[in-house]
Amino acid sequence: MNKNSFISLTCLILSTATVNSYGEPRSNADRCFSGNDPKFCISALIDTGKNDDLKQQIFARSCKLGSLYGCHGLVGVLAGQNDMDGALRVALNNCERGYYFSCESAGYFLEKKGRVEDARRNYLQSCSIDKDTLRGCESLGKLSVVSDANELLAESCAKQQAWACFAYGFAENQAGRPESAKKVFIAGCESRLAPKFRFCEEAFKFISLPADVQDLFNGEEICMHWRGEPAYDTERSKQIERGVEESCKDRSAKRAALRKKYQGERDILFVLENLDGTVVESD
């Protein structure tokens, strides 16, 4: 074995070792900075607590190692430091590599710079790809009031493309046509366009509810909030279990009574029919 091969082998062993030179377990941060596997950087983020300087270094390192998640995290760090140009550069590069969360971020920074068409293109890329949460669609819609952009969304929505319908609803509302926006969101909710809850959630915002229906709505909202909470440790898991137990009640009898009371009230019946599993707390 020649000298260079020996040095390379030594570096490889040190970078993958699970203990340091003192025989102590190596931290994920150690393995992040000395190795070439970004997964240790992601694990190290959990260990950093509120050490923002270390978080920045870890995001930068994982991004350098090719982690799309790490690069997206670096975008947030740079934005927090008011380095908007740096954040935009990283976001655009990450978007080009296929990480659509960064496409939305790039759209935001471009919009702040007044580059509306560039922002709209990035929002479109995020919105049309992220079919689970329709990330970026609201911003896309609000920038699509002009006739050509609005017509494109309307045509795509007519073809039952959920992302286009969702963005189109926001475009109509931004253009001062709330009744049209309401119809778009209601249609999306009733036709079960995925994700259904996003359409229903927006449609509900256009409807004023009487106190008794609002009370039912609030109860369901609290229940769905607890059901959507992440159980990141044992104590939090117990809190969530208590929250679900206290708030997720059988409200079927109350709902049936309200349906009877408000028969003929189309908007109220729409809310009562589509409340299950659709009310989520906004970010």
Which pLDDT belongs to residue 8? 41
Angle at CA of residue 262, ends 261 and 266, nearest 5°: 165
As given in the structure block, the two tokens for residue 182 are: 């309401």
Which pLDDT belongs to residue 185? 96
Residue 26 confidence class, pLDDT cut points 50, 70, 90: low
Residues 146 and 197 in one domain: yes
Residues 282 and 260 in one domain: yes
Which pLDDT belongs to residue 37? 86
Tell me how crowded residue 215 is: count the other CB atoms within 10 A of its CB.
Answer: 13
In a domain, 239, yes or no: yes
Mean pLDDT over 204-219 rounds to 94
Q: Domain end: 163, 178, 206, which one? A: 206
DSSP string, the chain: --HHHHHHHHHHHHHH-SB-TTSPBPPHHHHHHHSS-HHHHHHHHHH-TT-HHHHHHHHHHHHHTT-HHHHHHHHHHHHHTT-HHHHHHHHHHHHHTT-HHHHHHHHHHHHHTT-HHHHHHHHHHHHHH-TTT-TTHHHHHHT--SHHHHHHHHHHHHTT-HHHHHHHHHHHHHTT-HHHHHHHHHHHHHTTPSSHHHHHHHHHTT----HHHHHHHHHHHHHHHHHT----SHHHHHHHHHHHHHH----HHHHHHHHHHTTT-HHHHHHHHS-TTT-----
In a domain, 237, yes or no: yes
Residues 222 and 201 in one domain: no
Please tell me which residue, 9 or 45, carries the higher pLDDT value. 45
Q: Domain end: 160, 177, 206, which one? A: 206
Which amino acid does the sequence have at 159?
A: K
Q: Domain end: 158, 191, 206, which one? A: 206
In a domain, 61, yes or no: no
Give per-residue pLDDT as tens, 59-79.
999 899 999 999 999 999 899
From residue 276, alpha-carbon distances to 142, 213, 217 in Å are 28, 14, 10
Domain limits at 258?
207-283
Residues 212 and 166 in one domain: no
Which pLDDT belongs to residue 169? 96
Q: With a cut of 80, say whether residue 216 has pLDDT above it.
A: yes
Residues 144 and 183 in one domain: yes
Which is nearest to 13 in space by CA: 34, 32, 29?
34
In a domain, 84, yes or no: no
Q: With a cut of 60, say whether residue 14 has pLDDT above it.
A: no
In a domain, 247, yes or no: yes
CA-to-CA distance for 243 and 96, rounded, in angstroms? 41
Site of tokens 């709902």: 255
Mean pLDDT over 41-70 rounds to 82
Residues 183 and 137 in one domain: yes
- The reply to whether the predicted model has a pTM over 0.85 is no
Residues 182 and 213 in one domain: no
Residues 213 and 200 in one domain: no
- Please state, for a pLDDT cut of 90, what percent of the chain lies above it: 52
Please tell me which residue, 30 or 46, carries the higher pLDDT value. 30
Residue 47 confidence class, pLDDT cut points 50, 70, 90: low
Which pLDDT belongs to residue 12? 38
In a domain, 282, yes or no: yes
In a domain, 86, yes or no: no
Which amino acid does the sequence have at 283?
A: D
Domains identified in the chain, total number: 2
DSSP string, 123-142: HHHHHHH-TTT-TTHHHHHH
Give per-residue pLDDT as tens, 144-188.
988 888 999 999 999 989 999 999 999 999 999 999 999 999 999
Q: With a cut of 90, say whether residue 117 has pLDDT above it.
A: yes
In a domain, 169, yes or no: yes
Residues 187 and 247 in one domain: no
